[in-house]
């Protein structure tokens, strides 16, 4: 691995546990999510709780610059793309348009340690799907040149996929492999819930795998339990968004997740 990538991945993953607690706060690209109305104000106590990284949009990275520009601050992961299905936020999907909105160079100028991209499957348009594949490959190539890691999030969001396919471990296995083949250095994936299935998936992938948060869970202990199960099955950590910043006490939840992810604590020992 090029030295730049290894240095930056060292900022993402804890030296001892080799895992990462990532807070995803790039949701504003789709509108105004509850919990992030005062963006910098909401992030400040979360950052103080010690997450290993934040996923932010370019605008979010600018707003949070004061929180990130200090020794020991979380690594910065910049989301550089967007999938657009409607011209009004929250409106009915009318298409499958996907675009890169930030170059690798611009993300690096913001201080990015890692870039993050979507890889969407189950689309009705083969052309839209192909364009997504090509864009990920192009950005991966540019990341290689600059020595910056790329996190790819393979998801089955397309209208052509059935609910069964969206939840299928078999489909997950295929889309993760495609992400790696396109140049991903880290994968962000849904946790299938079955430890054996997830362990088999992780064992055949040559890059670290972190789990995404998925639908909002009402009880913080349920969030911690999902993280504990995934880590026990081989996850290299987690990248949770709404399940952290919409929690009743986000800093307490981050600290609990750190105990589970980095110390191997059981749910009962997490402090929640």
Question: Tell me, what CATH number does 36's domain have?
Answer: 3.20.20.70
Residue 33 lies in a domain: yes
Is 271 part of any domain?
Answer: no
Report the run of H or E that residue 108 belongs to, with start and end. Answer: helix 104-109
Burial class of residue 132 (count of CB atoms within 10 Å of its CB; 0-12, 13-18, 19+): buried
Domain around 58: 3-263
Instruction: Please indicate, yes or no, if residue 110 is contained in any of the structural domains.
Output: yes
Q: Give the pLDDT confidence of 16-43 residue by residue, as tens digits.
A: 999 999 999 999 998 889 999 999 999 9
Mean per-residue pLDDT over the chain, rounded = 94
Say how many domains are in the chain.
1
Specify if 268 maps to a domain. Answer: no
242, part of any domain:
yes
Q: Is residue 59 part of a domain?
A: yes
Q: What is the tens place of the pLDDT at every residue in 127-181?
A: 999 999 999 999 999 999 999 999 999 999 988 999 899 889 999 999 999 999 9
Q: Residue 54: CB partners within 8 Å, gap ≥ 6?
A: 22, 23, 24, 25, 43, 47, 64, 68, 74, 75, 76, 77
Looking at the domain assignment, is residue 189 inside a domain?
Answer: yes
Please indicate, yes or no, if residue 270 is contained in any of the structural domains: no
């Amino acid at each position: 691995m090029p030295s730049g990538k290894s240095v930056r991945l060292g900022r993402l993953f804890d030296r001892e546990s080799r895992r990462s607690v990532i807070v995803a706060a790039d949701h504003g690209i789709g509108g105004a999510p509850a919990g992030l109305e005062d963006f910098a104000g909401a992030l400040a106590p979360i950052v103080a709780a010690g997450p290993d990284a934040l996923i932010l949009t370019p605008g979010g990275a600018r707003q949070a610059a004061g929180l990130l520009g200090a020794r020991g601050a979380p690594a910065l992961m910049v989301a550089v793309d967007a999938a657009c299905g409607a011209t009004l936020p929250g409106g009915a999907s009318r298409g499958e348009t996907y675009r890169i909105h930030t170059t690798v160079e611009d993300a690096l100028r913001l201080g990015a340690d890692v870039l993050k991209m979507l890889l969407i499957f189950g689309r009705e348009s083969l052309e839209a799907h192909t364009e997504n594949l090509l864009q990920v490959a192009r950005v991966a190539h540019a990341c290689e040149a600059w020595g910056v890691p790329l996190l790819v999030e393979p998801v089955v969001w397309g209208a052509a996929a059935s609910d069964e396919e969206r939840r299928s471990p078999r489909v997950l296995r295929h889309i993760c492999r495609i992400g790696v083949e396109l140049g991903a250095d880290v994968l962000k994936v849904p946790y299938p819930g079955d430890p054996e299935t997830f362990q088999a998936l992780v064992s055949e992938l040559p890059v670290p795998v972190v789990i995404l948060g998925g639908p909002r869970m009402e009880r913080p202990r349920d969030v911690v339990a999902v993280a504990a199960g995934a880590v026990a099955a081989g996850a290299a950590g987690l990248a949770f968004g709404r399940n952290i910043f919409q929690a009743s006490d986000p800093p307490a939840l981050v600290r609990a997740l750190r105990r589970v992810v980095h110390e191997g604590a059981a749910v009962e020992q997490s402090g929640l």
